[in-house]
Amino acid sequence: MRRLARVVTRILNTHYHFDHIHGNRLFPNATVMLNQVEQECFPRLESIAGKLGIQELYGDAGVAEWIRAVAAGTSPPAPFSPAFRPEWWFSTRVPAEAYPYGEFAIGSVRTVMVHSPGHTAGMACPFFPEEGLVYTADIDLTRFGPWYFATDCDIDAFVRSSRALLALDAEWYVTGHEEGLLRRSEFAERLEGYLAIIDKRDRRILDLLGQGVSEERLTDHGVLYPTRYHVAPWVRTPDGRSFAGRWPTGPPGTVPRWSSGRAFILRPRPVRCAVS
């Protein structure tokens, strides 16, 4: 790792979530780059707090408390969550440079940073045309399904961004979690089932609301995370909140979108040295 730290000169973070940035600290001599929508997140943790939903659910005092906790690095680990991990602080101290969406050169490698909002407002999926390969970041095809539970998330944008990846002239798709390298045909085949989890969640929510469950108590029923995860502070607040949403109207017969669901848990994963 020490040798790698000496030779890596540039880190591209696809978005600001913990599991994609926590390794930045291991490369103190590298230039850190983030998309232009989220560039201000490094080093402004207040911006991360606003985008994640900490501000929305816990207010200014909660944001200040969170920043103090990660900066001090003395808080006990939060169960099932990196909520108070000190890497939030150590991996965001260097101000990020912004990479553009579209054509972008990484040394001699031709790269297209594809703006793919939904999971976050600014997430980018790097596409390497010469190699016919795209890194899909958190459009990841996991069994959990799409993650869109923060303030800056957008369900419909997530769906559009996911399908837009199939418009690229790529044969290989590399996911950011679990699945790894997939051929185009397999990615396309599995994508619709992955996106269908959104409608499955929405139908479950509609059923619960029809049974008289209030919006504030939906989380109690494990719509998104099994109840054993509810001890995590970013999955469920102490007063039981995880949702602050709305039902936008849609065409007759369609499933309404629970478009602003709020529930927080980020899964750590191995560090990505060049693109994460």
CA separation for the pair 173, 180 (Å, rounded): 8
pLDDT of residue 215: 76
CA separation for the pair 55, 210 (Å, rounded): 30
pLDDT band at residue 78 using 50, 70 and 90 as cut-offs:
confident
Provide the token pair at 100: 């553009």
Provide the token pair at 146: 């799409």
Specify the amino acid at residue 13: N
Residue 215 φ/ψ, nearest 5 degrees = -55, -40
Angle between helices 54-72 and 45-52 (to 10 degrees): 140
CA separation for the pair 173, 157 (Å, rounded): 20
pLDDT of residue 211: 95
Q: For residue 274, is it left (φ>0), alpha (ψ between -120 and 50) or beta?
A: alpha
pLDDT of residue 222: 82
The neighbouring-strand residues paired with 111 are 104
Residue 250 · residue 256 · CB < 8 Å: yes
Q: Is the pLDDT of residue 155 over 90?
A: yes
Residue 221 φ/ψ, nearest 5 degrees = -100, 10
CA separation for the pair 199, 9 (Å, rounded): 42
We report the CATH number of the domain holding residue 6 as: 3.60.15.10
Residue 48 φ/ψ, nearest 5 degrees = -60, -45
Q: Which of 143-152, 217-226, 247-256 has the lowest mean pLDDT?
A: 247-256
**What average pLDDT score do residues 36-41 get?**
97
pLDDT in tens, 88-147: 999 999 899 999 999 988 888 999 999 999 999 999 999 999 999 999 999 999 999 999
Percent of the chain with pLDDT over 90: 60
Q: Is the pLDDT of residue 241 over 60?
A: no
pLDDT band at residue 194 using 50, 70 and 90 as cut-offs:
very high
pLDDT band at residue 276 using 50, 70 and 90 as cut-offs:
low
Residue 206 φ/ψ, nearest 5 degrees = -60, -40
> Which of 54, 30, 41, 31 lies closest to 89, judged by CA?
41
Q: Is the pLDDT of residue 253 over 60?
A: no
Specify the amino acid at residue 224: L
Range of the domain at 246: 1-276
- C-alpha dihedral sign at 118, 124, 126, 129: positive
Beta strand residue intervals within the chain, DSSP E? 10-13, 31-35, 97-99, 102-106, 109-115, 124-128, 133-137, 172-175, 181-183
Instruction: Enumerate residues 6+ apart whose C-beta is below 8 A from 221.
Output: 208, 213
pLDDT in tens, 209-222: 899 988 777 778 88
pLDDT of residue 179: 86
Mean residue pLDDT of the chain comes to 85
Buried b (16+ CB within 10 A) or exposed e, 69-83: bbeeeeeeebebbbb
Total domains in the chain come to 1
**What average pLDDT score do residues 195-211 get?**
92
pLDDT band at residue 170 using 50, 70 and 90 as cut-offs:
very high
**What average pLDDT score do residues 14-32 get?**
94
